[in-house]
Amino acid sequence: MITTTTATPLGAARLHPPGSLLDPALAAQLRNYRRRVLSGVFTVSPGELPSFLPPGALHATALPGGSPWFLVLDPEQPALVSPAGQVIEGPVPLLDEVRAALPRAVGRPVIAGELVSSAQPLDALLRSGPSAPLDQLSFVGLDLLSGGDTRARAPLASFEDRAGTLQRLLDGGALARAASIARVASPDAVASLYRDLVDSHRARGLLLRSPQDRLLKVMPTLTLFASVVGYTERASGGEAGALLLALRRPDGAFQPVELCTHLGDADARRSLLGTLAPLAAPSSFHHPGAHGELVRFVRPEIAVEVRANDAVADDSLGLPLSSMALSFDAGSWSSITLAPTARLVAARVLRVLPPHETMKALMGMAQLADRCWLDGLERPLRRPSGGPSVLIRREVWVKESKGKKTVRKLVAWKTNKEGDPLFPPYVVHWTDYNPSRREPLEREVHPAPSEESANAIAERLLGEEIKKGWQRIA
């Protein structure tokens, strides 16, 4: 099922990195579930339930506060698999308990659920190596993807049938158990269950499932204080369109976490623009806005109070998110390096902090500690070694039709960052701007190991994209 050549110790067990799955059917099954289900979960706050709650009876599950993982009841090698393809196998107390369920299993059941670490963030435990306290791991099963028992076997269209099969498979488990399911038929019933489980800290949130298998996650709102490092202006002019929000790292760097477009009414947007425009600051780093425009950077003198439904540190594939950490020195912005970051879910600006409250923004990344784990915050960031990048090729092509200009641009450069794993030796960047498209601006970034390879990529792009009617202007 997995390759064993790249495993590292995890307590007495083994942790395999992403990409270790050798079984193509299992890998495709997990990939499809990530794309179809995990990436489609919609997170709302309790106050938003009346607006988003689907009609009819729902299944409600208490979320224990773990991370999405899969439990594979393989008769030869039961294992835990993350959405990113990490694998835990070997003598894990949780998996030892699961082996007792194998005689009841039919067809290698695959169970979607949450892996929970009881005393520390899961990501921290997985980085503990040989000293990892594996007795802290438990698993809560939420859905059955395949397999089953002698009474029922997937595919099962009814969630009640899948939940019942899960209960039988994991019956009697202490470290691996099926989630308890409650039926709720009204917003009041959901609110009552939320108060009973979440407000009393018995669960992190609720997962609601409609008869059509639509998933809705209900979580407590997250309120935090962030620095405004840039903004965009609405196309109509006179109003701020979005704010680039950043949190301070312990080393003082600014980590962008959200391009927030929910800024309030027109008066609030005009006020924000009037406040931020005079604070303009130069930046050698460029950040795109929501519609392809560039963010205008400002001095980090303004802080805002933000409310979000959640904060996540990985994408739908389970891979960690990252953004460019920034430094503000001598009145200008510059990039430091890519660093792990989080994304705010449904963020909206509540207010601009008055001057005597702006120190609240110094709470920084620590404000996300209860929602997600960000690796390496304790380590100061360093800029990549090596010299500045050197441009090796640049071509701009234009085509005019019906009074509109379409622009395609090729840029290739040598990074001069040898030895830094964050940077490839060469990069080819392709820009395609077409004002007639719904999304006018499209980009492609191609890393390359050599100048010959970079030029080969460039020639392929030009051959595919530049046909009759294009005029090279630069």
Choosing from 218, 252, 286, the residue where a domain stops is: 218
- Token readout for 119 is 């005393």
Tokens 């019906």 label which residue? 402
pLDDT tens track for 223-255? 999 999 999 999 888 999 999 999 999 999 999
Confidence of residue 281 (pLDDT cuts 50, 70, 90): very high
Considering the domain architecture, whether residues 169 and 260 belong to the same structural domain is answered as: no
Considering the domain architecture, whether residues 435 and 447 belong to the same structural domain is answered as: yes
- pLDDT of the residue at 232: 96
Q: Is residue 419 part of a domain?
A: yes
CATH number of the domain residue 337 falls in: 2.40.50.140
**CB 407 within 8 Å of CB 429:** no
* Ranges assigned E (strand) in 263-362: 296-297, 303-308, 310-312, 322-329, 332-340, 343-345, 348-352
pLDDT tens track for 79-110? 999 888 889 999 999 999 999 889 989 989 99
CA dist., res. 82 & res. 126, Å (int) = 11
pLDDT above 90 covers a percentage of the chain that reads: 56
**Has this prediction a pTM greater than 0.85?**
no
Q: What is the mean pLDDT of the chain?
A: 90
Q: How many domains does the chain have?
A: 3
pLDDT at 52 over 90: no
pLDDT at 390 over 90: yes
Per-residue pLDDT, averaged over 361-368, amounts to: 91
Q: Is residue 260 part of a domain?
A: yes
pLDDT at 370 over 90: no
Considering the domain architecture, whether residues 441 and 346 belong to the same structural domain is answered as: no
CA dist., res. 227 & res. 303, Å (int) = 4
pLDDT at 352 over 90: yes
pLDDT at 375 over 80: no
Per-residue pLDDT, averaged over 128-140, amounts to: 93
**β-bridge pairing 322-329 and 106-117:** unpaired
- pLDDT of the residue at 24: 87
CA 26 to chain centre: 23
Considering the domain architecture, whether residues 194 and 313 belong to the same structural domain is answered as: no
- Cα separation values, 151 from 146, 154, 230, 410, Å: 14, 11, 59, 60
**CB 321 within 8 Å of CB 341:** yes
**CB 74 within 8 Å of CB 111:** no
Considering the domain architecture, whether residues 200 and 262 belong to the same structural domain is answered as: no
Tokens 């998996």 label which residue? 95
CA dist., res. 256 & res. 347, Å (int) = 13
| Residues present in the chain in total | 474
- Token readout for 340 is 């792990």
Q: Is residue 400 part of a domain?
A: yes
CA dist., res. 155 & res. 117, Å (int) = 30
Considering the domain architecture, whether residues 228 and 117 belong to the same structural domain is answered as: no
Considering the domain architecture, whether residues 32 and 147 belong to the same structural domain is answered as: yes
Q: Is residue 43 part of a domain?
A: yes
- pLDDT of the residue at 120: 83
CA dist., res. 211 & res. 331, Å (int) = 56
Confidence of residue 123 (pLDDT cuts 50, 70, 90): confident
With helix as H, strand as E and coil as C, how does 24-90 read? HHHHHHHHHHHHHCHHHCEEECHHHHHHHCCCCCEEEEEECCCEEEEEECCCCCCEEECCCCCEEEC
Radius of gyration of the chain (CA): 25
Considering the domain architecture, whether residues 128 and 246 belong to the same structural domain is answered as: no
- pLDDT of the residue at 122: 86
Q: Which residue has the higher pLDDT, 209 or 413?
A: 413
- pLDDT of the residue at 157: 86
Q: Is residue 441 part of a domain?
A: yes
CATH number of the domain residue 98 falls in: 3.30.470.30
Domain that holds residue 316: 222-368
- pLDDT of the residue at 55: 78
- pLDDT of the residue at 229: 97
**What is the DSSP code (8-state) at residue 117?**
E
Considering the domain architecture, whether residues 97 and 159 belong to the same structural domain is answered as: yes
| Range of lowest pLDDT (126-140, 160-174, 352-366, 372-386) | 372-386
In sequence order, the β-bridge partners of residue 21 are 2
3 state DSSP class of 120: coil
- pLDDT of the residue at 154: 85
Considering the domain architecture, whether residues 163 and 231 belong to the same structural domain is answered as: no
Considering the domain architecture, whether residues 399 and 434 belong to the same structural domain is answered as: yes
CA 407 to chain centre: 32
- pLDDT of the residue at 374: 81
